[in-house]
Amino acid sequence: MAVKNSIADMHAEIIGWRRHLHENPELMFAVHETASFVVERLKEIGVDEITPGIGKTGVVAVIKGRQDSSGRVIGLRADMDALPIYEATGLDYRSKIDGKMHACGHDGHTAMLLGAAKYLSETRNFDGTAVLIFQPAEEGGGGGKEMCDDGMMDRWGIQEVYGLHNTPGIPVGQFAIRSGAILASADEFVITVTGVGGHAAAPHEAVDTTFVAAQIVVSLQSVVARNVNPLHRVVVTVGTFETDSQASNIIAQRVIMKGTVRALDSENRTLVKSRIRTISEDTASAFGATASMEWRNGYPPTINHEIETGYAADAARTVAGDINESVDPIMPAEDFAYMLEERPGAYIFLGNGDSAQCHHPAYDFNDEAIPAGSSWFAELIERRMALGERDLKEQN
């Protein structure tokens, strides 16, 4: 693995940052201590500019290269927030806060970007400007959108933007990427079925919403099986099913179901939304009940831009050798999608090895992946904003 030597030398320091963050997880936009920690490290590193409070609690830092004749500005993003999960790792540096843990590796992402910041600030072997983005609230809060809505892209003149995510199941320090959709959208729906409550011993005098709602759940499985092109990937899942009765001898008046839809393109998002509404309303009507659907738009699909995917892959090959450039897309969602809607860029997977899956209480970010991740961030900046041959000779 061709990680940068100076990044390898600071490996232990970056591990220390990562484990501090792991011990002190914060949720959503309430990442005040995490953001303060990032700011303090950036001050010690000596970046050119630090701006907290972007997208509520995000941090943006700027590092200028030895030259700025290219006028190029590249953004690098890491997420900072944790999850509301009770940790079950038993690690010495496990979470100090019950019910909160870094179960998705954002502690590792933040630490790796800080490592790249230290390297880039010390070397400055590039022609242009690196913008480092430390984002809150990736886990459901849409912090990426908040930072974009706060004018981040225009304020710092960002022209391209890149991010990464650790991935259990891929060998430690290896990379995988694809052009086009790499992660799915994540929309939510709430279906309310209303009938006529009654006594369980007299079902003929009621309209049984439990029965009706069950028919809807079964019928929704036809959306992917019979409405979506079988070459496309879509997920429809009903996650909760709640009646307004807790007794075995009562027919419920109302049932509320909540679910999620995952898709890799906007056409299927629209199709599935329409089919869920029609199936719910018509199935309920057929049995004498009514159904209404509330739809909540979530993160859009994460779509890698073709040319920028090549740039990200080139940097990964320099760091790790052979990489997977046609990895299958996965159906979780990622709010880096909003940044890719505003600027060209790419999102890459970094191997976390044989670990528990993300969002599992036994998950832990693999510290052995740090040199590869930090080196990828730095290599991307140096490759996209390379100094000329004469500049390189002068600096040596």
Each residue's pLDDT tens digit, 170-208: 999 999 999 999 999 999 999 999 999 999 999 999 999
The string of DSSP letters for 372-389 reads: HHHHHHHHHHHHHTPPPH
Each residue's pLDDT tens digit, 45-77: 999 999 999 999 999 999 999 999 999 999 999
24 Cβ partners below 8 Å, 6+ apart? 33, 34, 37, 95, 96, 97
Res 391 pLDDT > 50: no
Name the one residue in this structure whose structure tokens are 């052009």.
Answer: 179
Number of other residues whose CB lies within 10 A of the CB of residue 191: 26
Nearest-5° Cα angle at 217, 214 to 223: 150
**What's 214's DSSP letter?**
H
pLDDT class of 388 with cuts at 50, 70, 90: low
Q: What is the rounded average pLDDT of the residues 248-272?
A: 96
**What does the domain layout of the chain look like in residue ranges?**
5-182+301-395, 186-299
Give, in words, the CATH class of 5-182+301-395: alpha beta
What is the C-alpha to C-alpha distance for residues 349 and 371, in angstroms, rounded to an integer?
Answer: 14
For the chain, the average pLDDT equals: 95
pTM over 0.85, yes/no: yes
Q: Of 3.30.70.360, 3.40.50.11540, 3.90.226.10, 3.20.20.450, which CATH number belongs to 186-299?
A: 3.30.70.360
State residue 1's pLDDT score. Answer: 54
**Helix boundaries (H) for 124-183:** 143-149, 152-155
Tokens at residue 161, please? 């933007």
Q: Dihedral sign, CA of 184, 144, 109, 321?
A: positive
State residue 28's pLDDT score. Answer: 97
* Percentage of residues of the chain with pLDDT beyond 90: 96
